[in-house]
Amino acid sequence: MSKPQDEPQDDARARGGASGFLRSETGIRLISAIVMIALALGTTWQGGAVFAVFWLAAGSAILFEWIAMVWIARRIPSVVAGALAYTAFVLAHLTGWPPVALTAIALAGGALVVMISTGWRDRIWAGAGYAVALVVVAVPILVRDHPALGALGILWIFAVVWGTDIAAYFTGRALGGPRLWPRLSPNKTWSGFAGGLVAAMLAGFLLGLVARLWGQHPPFDLWALTVLSGIASVVGQLGDLAESALKRHFDVKDSSRLIPGHGGVMDRLDAFFAVCLLIGLLMLGLSPFGILAG
């Protein structure tokens, strides 16, 4: 007779366990990750203004975190000036302004951010932060709207960055071994680095293969895309280490607390920034030769 009374108590404990997990640090981190992935993929699929606004917000958040982290005196004016410049850049791109006008807007915004600061130290750090955030704002938008790249180009960046991050974490935990760079990031290992590199190359190859099966035509053949994925993985991991060095220099654990369970936007997009920088430079260098010409 006591069993029917015990079952509701067990159900309550089960519900409490699930609820407790969702409220735990791991649960909050998982929920945040799911939301971020959904937003990134959803806006990539949508494209246009929705996609542009998403990365405008991400870049502006990075500038805010950077300015706060490096202790610039005139923080609010610097962030506002940078965000307005990014907004002008996005609006100009969406309304079809030519590349020379976009470049002028980007340079004018950077000059304004630098001039707002006082002293060479603040000006250098403010200018660097503006440039980093500009890459995150501009390159995804230019890639998404590029006729030879489009949504597939963004998905490739996601595949390389996420594949590297996930594989490096689990490979490093499983195999351990010598530390990659203990002074900057004591938890990263050479085994994790290698695991991330292999995963990125495999992800790039598979994405290119699937794209061709679906009738898409990436600007690189499968083997070139695989090699480029490996290079991007290395660059992304270097970007991660660079942000670790920056945080260690300014003695902060996270760039901010904007993302529950994950720290700041810059913490999540350090490798993404590095890969975007690589792709932006490739677009500039290869376009004159017709490889990535718009």
Long-range contacts of 214-221 (CB under 8 A, 24+ apart): 216/152, 218/152, 218/156, 219/148, 219/149, 219/291, 219/292
Query: Within this chain, do residues 267 and 130 fall inside the same structural domain, yes or no?
Result: no
Report pLDDT digits (tens) over 92-131. 999 999 999 999 999 999 999 999 999 999 999 999 999 9
Specify whether 116 is located in the same domain as 233.
no
pLDDT at 289: 54
- 162 and 274 belong to one structural domain: yes
Whether 183 is covered by a domain: the verdict is yes
Is 43 within a domain? no
161 and 56 in one domain? no
In whole angstroms, what is the distance from residue 139 CA to residue 256 CA?
23
Pick from 198, 162, 168: nearest CA to 180: 168
Instruction: Examine residue 128 and state whether it is found in any structural domain, yes or no.
Output: yes
Residue where one domain finishes, among candidates 100, 129, 145 = 145
On the 0-12 / 13-18 / 19+ scale of CB atoms within 10 A, 286 is middle
169 shares its domain with 134: no
The 8 Å CB, 24+ separation contacts for 221-226 are 225/156, 226/201
Residue 115: half-sphere exposure toward Cβ, Cα within 13 Å: 7
User: Is 242 in the same domain as 257?
Assistant: yes
Rounded to two decimals, what is the model's pTM?
0.89
Contacts of 53 (CB under 8 A, 6+ apart): 90
- Residue at 126 is within a domain: yes
pLDDT attached to residue 182: 85
Give the pLDDT confidence score for residue 217 in this predicted structure: 82
Cα–Cα distance for residue pair 294/277, rounded to 1 Å:
18
Tell me whether residue 38 is in a domain: no
Residues 159, 99 share a domain:
no
User: Residue 211 corresponds to which tokens in the numbers above?
Assistant: 């794209």
Surface-to-core class of residue 118, CB atoms within 10 Å of its CB (0-12 exposed, 13-18 middle, 19+ buried) = exposed
Same domain, 119 and 157: no
- Same domain flag for 65 and 86: yes
Residues 257 and 180 in one domain: yes
The amino acid occupying position 128 is A
User: Of 245, 243, 234, which Cα lies nearest the Cα of 275?
Assistant: 234
Q: What is the pLDDT of residue 120?
A: 95
**Res 184: pLDDT:** 81
Residue 225 has a pLDDT of: 95
- Sign of torsion over alpha carbons 165, 167, 172, 174: positive
Name the domain count of the chain.
Answer: 2
Domain boundary among 85, 110, 145: 145
Predicted pLDDT of residue 151: 96
Asked whether residue 189 is assigned to any structural domain, the reply reads yes
Residue 80 in domain: yes
Full pLDDT tens readout for the chain, 294 residues: 444 444 444 444 445 565 665 566 677 888 988 999 999 999 999 999 999 999 999 999 999 999 999 999 999 999 999 999 999 999 999 999 999 999 999 999 999 999 999 999 999 999 999 999 999 999 999 999 999 899 999 999 999 999 999 999 999 999 988 998 888 888 899 999 999 999 999 999 999 999 999 888 888 899 999 999 999 999 999 999 999 999 999 999 888 888 887 889 999 999 999 999 999 999 988 765 555 655
Last residue of a domain, one of 116, 145, 174: 145
The answer to whether residue 125 is domain-embedded is yes
Whether 140 and 160 map to the same domain: the answer is: no
Same domain assignment for residues 141 and 155: no
The pLDDT value recorded for residue 181 is 86
The answer for residues whose C-beta is within 8 angstroms of residue 200's C-beta and 6 or more apart is: 159, 160, 163, 164, 167, 229, 230, 232, 233, 236
Domain span holding position 84: 50-145
The total of other beta-carbon atoms located within 10 Å of residue 11's CB is 10
